[in-house]
Amino acid sequence: MRKYALGIIICIANFVFAQTAGDYYKRAVGKYKEKDYAGAIVEYTRAIDLSPNSAVLYNNRGVCKFNLDRFSDAIKDYEEAIRLDKNYVHSYFNKGNSHYGINEFEDALICYDKTIELDPKYSLAYVNRAKVYQKLGDYKSSIADLDYVLEDVGVKDKEKAYLDRANAYYFLEEYELAIKDYRLAIALNEDYYEAYINRGQCYFRMGEYEKAIDDFTLSMRLDPKNGEGYYYRGLCRIQMTSDIKSAKKDSKTVADVRTNQKLLEMACSDFKKAKVFEYGKAYEALEEYCK
């Protein structure tokens, strides 16, 4: 299942600094906007040297480190920001994101809980806490958080919240509810690759193979190098051959044999494509079905 990435919060504020510290801050913000995160870190460090009691500077430098996947280093900056300002809600949220980045899900959960305690309407904290709950296998709590932001608080990029809630329903094997949310996500973004491929897996689990094939095919149009889509489309076709054999076991006809053969050839073609795009399960499928 595809999941959406975490968000981060960088703060821009007006400072009463010595002029030089303010200059470094402005340069850092400029470099951040240009996605020159390493350069921004240098400028924030210079500003911190001149204004070491600014929680915002530590938070923002942490965000730059986060963007370079330096999650542990980012956590140290967020902790310093929180030491300087115990109610700095954005640093708790950003610290949670960094813990998530290194699979420290329990620590991430603590940070998101604190964020919500300080700001009960902090919608992204609910969205990201929902992701943590899914990592911890607590899908019902994940759904409760996403219900809240979708129905009460409101959230930017609503289609991503629908996707996450659908994924939670999927893992609870509540496929009809998952399909409903994937449909809502697609209504907001008709090019939403993850929604098509995940909805296809729901249809696959429900035995609705033709609908699943349609979704996997759509996902491949959006991402032609989508090995997962090819693999699952092939698996649908294999299952359809099994269903035909089961239904026609007492009255096998030439037409049935030809249908099965055609489906098998198409399935093997899909598995080969999936292998080209290095989707691991395709190797086993080729060995099992296409010798």
| In the chain, domain spans | 1-93, 120-190
Ramachandran category for residue 179: left, alpha or beta (phi over 0 → left; psi -120 to 50 → alpha): alpha
| 233 CB-contact burial (10 Å; exposed 0-12 / middle 13-18 / buried 19+) | buried
Other beta carbons within 10 Å of 33: 11
In this structure, the number of other CB atoms found within 10 A of the CB of residue 12 comes to 11
| Rounded mean pLDDT, 196-218 | 97
Burial class (CB in 10 A: 0-12, 13-18, 19+), 168: buried
Global pTM value: 0.84
Rg (CA), the chain: 24
Average pLDDT, the chain: 91
- The pLDDT assigned to 19 comes to 59
Q: Amino acid identity of 22?
A: G
Please state the rounded mean pLDDT for residues 254-268.
81
Q: Spell out the CATH class of 120-190.
A: mainly alpha
- pLDDT exceeds 90 at position 4: no
Q: What are phi and psi of 152, to 5 degrees?
A: -120, -50
Q: Do domains 1-93 and 120-190 have the same CATH topology?
A: yes
Q: In this structure, are residues 44 and 28 in contact, taking their beta carbons and an 8 Å threshold? A: yes
Position 271 pLDDT exceeds 70: yes
Rounded Cα gap, residues 78 and 71, in angstroms: 10
- The predicted structure's pLDDT at residue 246: 55
Reply yes or no on whether the pLDDT at 6 is more than 70: no
The answer to whether the Cα torsion of 281, 139, 8, 193 is positive or negative is: positive
Query: What does the pLDDT look like over 50-101, one tens digit per residue?
Result: 999 999 999 999 999 999 999 999 999 999 999 999 999 999 999 999 999 9
List the one residue out of 160, 193, 199 whose CA is nearest residue 176.
199
The domain covering 1-93 belongs, at the CATH homologous superfamily level, to Tetratricopeptide repeat domain (1.25.40.10)
Average pLDDT of 176-184? 98
